[in-house]
Amino acid sequence: MEGDVVKSGMPLYWRVCLINGLVFVVGTAALALAPVTVSATVLVSEAVVLVVGLLGIVVLNSVLLRTSLAPLDRLIRLMDTVDLQRPGRRLPEAGSGAVRQLVRGFNAMLERLETERGRSNAKALAAQEAERRRIARELHDEIGQGLTAVLLALKQLSSGVPPAAQKDLQEVQETARATLDEVRSVARRLRPGVLEDLGLQSALAALATEFSEHGMHVRRITSPGLPALGEERELVIYRVAQEALTNAARHAQARSVHLSLQRQGPAVVLAVDDDGTGLRGAEEGTGIRGMRERALLIGAELTVGQGGSGTSVRLTVPLESR
């Protein structure tokens, strides 16, 4: 409620100017009408002097206030647009005295907020990955092994089942086998074992193959001889690619996706372009915000926008200087 009043009210600069202008008008009128300071009958020359003096005072006062309060106006605009998912924006420490201290304090507060947010995001994402690994392990060890045992039991029973029931038994077997495949697929998505065992490029290839098998053509291009990025950065790149492909298939109804991982100067760039419906002015959902959080964790830059005919996702991961 309070923020609405501030946004809809008169700016601070003009409120101060109006108040000071009224004070100057009242003072000038009193000076013009008081016989002790001006002649009893105000002469035309005296009135001209008073008007010119009043205008000069108002103009000078406006200039001084403009210079003094301009940092406050910039601070208010920055406070309205600040986004911790796009860090680094700071206000120049212009002005002097209390205004300069206020700007410096606000910049320091932003620095602390971004630092604490980065730490909490790192802990949250680490906990999320640990939970993903736990669920994937339980799916593989508990449910997967259970379904495998069911399939073996059904296979043993098939020899003693009457011919009339063979068709029903085969349908049950197919259902159990399809369920086992789906459980294994979910476990792979939760815990990319191929990323740990074979590396990022093989993991992206497996990811592209998985989505291609579900009806969306994924064309993949990777540069040979990419530098080692480290476990944390490779995991972020994999998760961003996974989320971008999921959004393209689930929300954009894309039929074709171009996935590339290439080195561009001092950075490695992941690009995912689809031919789906695009963003269409919609606000960023939890998936895109999650990608931004992961990008911030490794100091990367994520851009999501309208591509040629669909959505374009770019993750720019700077290489560590040696």
User: If residue 108 lies in a helix (H) or strand (E), which one and from where to where?
Assistant: helix 97-138
Mean pLDDT of 158-181: 81
Distance between CA atoms of 243 and 227, rounded to whole angstroms?
A: 23
Closest CA to 243 of 293, 274, 288: 288
Token look-up 């040696």 returns 322
Task: Pick 199-318's CATH classification: 3.40.50.1980, 3.30.70.890, 3.90.1150.10, 3.30.565.10.
Answer: 3.30.565.10
Distance between CA atoms of 11 and 82, rounded to whole angstroms?
A: 19
pLDDT at residue 8 in the model: 41
Q: How confident is the model at residue 257 (pLDDT cuts 50, 70, 90)?
A: very high
pLDDT tens-digit series, residues 68-112:
667 677 777 767 766 665 666 676 676 555 667 777 787 888 888
Higher pLDDT, 53 or 175: 175
Res 270 pLDDT > 90 = yes
Res 309 pLDDT > 60 = yes
pLDDT at residue 272 in the model: 92
Mean pLDDT of 45-67: 73
pLDDT at residue 5 in the model: 36
Least confident of 78-82, 163-167, 224-228, 240-244: 78-82
DSSP SS3 for 303: strand
Yes or no: say if 245 and 259 are a contact pair by the CB < 8 Å rule.
Answer: yes
First and final C-alpha spacing in the chain: 52
Yes or no: say if 262 and 223 are a contact pair by the CB < 8 Å rule.
Answer: yes
pLDDT at residue 102 in the model: 74
Most confident region among 2-16, 20-34, 179-193, 226-240 by mean pLDDT: 226-240
Strand stretches in 201-285, DSSP E: 217-222, 256-264, 267-274
Higher pLDDT, 38 or 265: 265
pTM score, two decimals? 0.59
pLDDT at residue 277 in the model: 81
pLDDT at residue 133 in the model: 75
What is the torsion angle, in degrees rounded to the nearest 10, for the CA atoms of residue 132, residue 138, residue 140 and residue 144?
-140
> Taking the domains of the chain in order of start, what are their residue ranges?
2-115, 129-190, 199-318
Higher pLDDT, 95 or 60: 60
CB-facing half-sphere around the CA of 74: CA atoms within 13 A:
20
pLDDT at residue 237 in the model: 92
What is the torsion angle, in degrees rounded to the nearest 10, for the CA atoms of residue 262, residue 264, residue 265 and residue 267?
-70
What percentage of the chain has pLDDT greater than the value 70?
77
Average pLDDT, the chain: 77
pLDDT at residue 39 in the model: 61
Mean pLDDT of 292-298: 84
Strand stretches in the chain, DSSP E: 217-222, 256-264, 267-274, 301-306, 311-318
Side-by-side strand order, sheet with 301-306: 217-222, 256-264, 267-274, 311-318, 301-306
Cα radius of gyration rounded to whole Å, the chain: 33
Q: Which residue type, as a one-letter code, is found at position 186?
A: V
**Residue 34 class from Cβ within 10 Å (0-12 exposed, 13-18 middle, 19+ buried)?**
exposed
pLDDT at residue 83 in the model: 64
